[in-house]
Structure 1
């Protein structure tokens, strides 16, 4: 009997892109797979079990072994710093992390405030720039912060830039580029090395072509 691989996947665009990759790699996933509202989806034909999670939770599931593999953005990996193996850059869901703010508005000289979903990454970035800032962690609608006077700047994901533009914000500094990565639990890699190596090789072939 084949080992069942449990794969944690984030909901949303990364999930859709990842499903497309898996199908290109020859895995037979049900047609209604992307539209399912289930949080756990079994695909017995491929010996897969998928856990659908919030993007920030994927690395935790993999680190703690409830998932053998996961797909996570590089932003989440840098923010969460989990004990997982990064085995493949899937080169999907491209975007970047950036500093943004209102045009023509200077940052406060005394205790400037930065709003973000990525407090660890933002703290490291401004520390490297030699700037002392106060980080305000938000879980959503980060773009609101400069508009209501909560923060001087935001650090957030930028994909098309439409959201910034619609809210009257401009990108000021690009921090780093982001793609989604295939990650593995270290213990799973020892116990299920053959099926994990197989999925890595098949996805790597698709990514490289």
Structure 2
């Protein structure tokens, strides 16, 4: 049995579609299930549904052999896992955004984000000193209520920024979802994992 950790939401839906295209027989009600652990015995697969940030933790600690995680999570977490395949799904990018003509309060601009490591590293590379404020959600709110001068967040269509009166200022990195593997699992279950990689690679190549 191969255990795969997957994030709920958009990435999950696109990943399920990819697995089906690769010939894996996932039941029709797979997406509707409220279960957090789903066994697909005919494919010898078990799926764990988790929050995006937790997928990498499950794979690193070996409770999942494989995982599907956004490159944003990989950049932020820096965990001991192998990133083995760009699945080219859930495309978006990490960006700096803020109010148009926003004034900076104080010496160091305050930057709100749920990616403190990525943001710190980016501004350090730019030679800019900033104060990082860690938030877990509704990042766009921070400049509107005066908590921060800028934000670092995922941008897909840009609609959320626009609806909240914010503009994209700088692009940090392109993001897609990646297939990741636990290093020990890769040694112990290499044949099965290599088969999954090969089947997915063929589908991605045809996209």
TM-score range, shorter chain: over 0.9
Between the aligned partners of 2:126 and 2:14, the Cα distance in structure 1 is 34
What is the CA-CA distance between 1:107 and the residue it aligns to? Answer: 3.1
1:137-152 superposed matches below 5 A: 137-152=134-149
- Matched with 2:150 is 153
- Matched with 1:117 is 114
1:126-205 superposed matches below 5 A: 126-205=123-202
Which ranges of structure 1 fall in alignment gaps of 5 or more residues?
none
CA RMSD of aligned residues (A): 0.7
1:206 aligns with 2:203: yes
- Matched with 2:81 is 84
Q: Which secondary structure state, in structure 2, belongs to the residue aligned with residue 58 of structure 1?
A: helix
TM-score with structure 1 length normalisation?
A: 0.97
TM-score with structure 2 length normalisation?
A: 0.98
- Matched with 1:69 is 66
1:48 aligns with 2:45: yes
How many residue pairs get matched? 206
Between the aligned partners of 2:111 and 2:83, the Cα distance in structure 1 is 29
Which ranges of structure 2 fall in alignment gaps of 5 or more residues?
none
1:32 to 29, 32, 43: 29
Between the aligned partners of 2:20 and 2:80, the Cα distance in structure 1 is 28
What is the CA-CA distance between 1:109 and the residue it aligns to? Answer: 5.3
What is the CA-CA distance between 1:47 and the residue it aligns to? Answer: 0.4
What is the CA-CA distance between 1:21 and the residue it aligns to? Answer: 0.2
- Matched with 1:60 is 57
What is the CA-CA distance between 1:78 and the residue it aligns to? Answer: 0.6
1:105 aligns with 2:102: yes
What is the CA-CA distance between 1:111 and the residue it aligns to? Answer: 2.0
Between the aligned partners of 1:45 and 1:154, the Cα distance in structure 2 is 46
Q: Which secondary structure state, in structure 1, belongs to the residue aligned with residue 23 of structure 2?
A: coil
Q: Which secondary structure state, in structure 2, belongs to the residue aligned with residue 98 of structure 1?
A: strand
